């Protein structure tokens, strides 16, 4: 079975915030390419992994429908908080850099 993966407005805003943060630190065009690649990696990994096995990732809270996907990228990575809303749909709620404060 395959799940539909959607982004919440908050998740979309998080991706923009993460991209802006990466762009602010860019010094070269390669840095800009890496910023784009980071956001692409978050989206691609979330789409691929959550569409196939959303229940296999760690629980994020008391609510078993809220889980976290760790997305490695370079020397660090990102954390995507998502909710399994039905037997066929997952909603990405938030994304953050692993070095940021927790989103709970």
Band the pLDDT of 64: cuts 50, 70, 90: confident
In degrees, rounded to 5, the angle at the alpha carbon of residue 50 between the alpha carbons of residues 86 and 73 is 150
Domains of the chain: 4-97 (3.30.2310.20)
Cβ-count burial 37-74 (b if 16+ within 10 Å, e if not)? ebbebbbebbeebbeeebeebeebeeeebebbbebebe
**Average pLDDT over every residue of 55-71:** 90
Which residues have CB under 8 Å from 79's CB, separation 6+? 68, 69, 70, 71, 95, 96, 97, 98, 103
Predicted pLDDT at 48: 95
Q: Is the pLDDT of residue 61 over 90?
A: no
């Amino acid at each position: 079975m395959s799940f539909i993966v959607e982004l919440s407005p908050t998740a979309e805003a998080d991706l923009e915030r993460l991209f802006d943060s990466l762009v602010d630190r860019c010094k070269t065009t390669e840095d800009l390419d890496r910023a784009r690649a980071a956001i692409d990696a978050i989206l691609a990994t979330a789409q691929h992994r959550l569409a196939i096995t959303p229940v296999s990732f760690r629980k994020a809270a008391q609510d078993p429908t809220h889980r976290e996907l760790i997305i490695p990228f370079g020397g660090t990575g990102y954390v995507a908080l998502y909710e399994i809303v039905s037997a066929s749909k997952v909603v990405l709620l938030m994304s953050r850099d692993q070095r940021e404060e927790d989103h709970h």
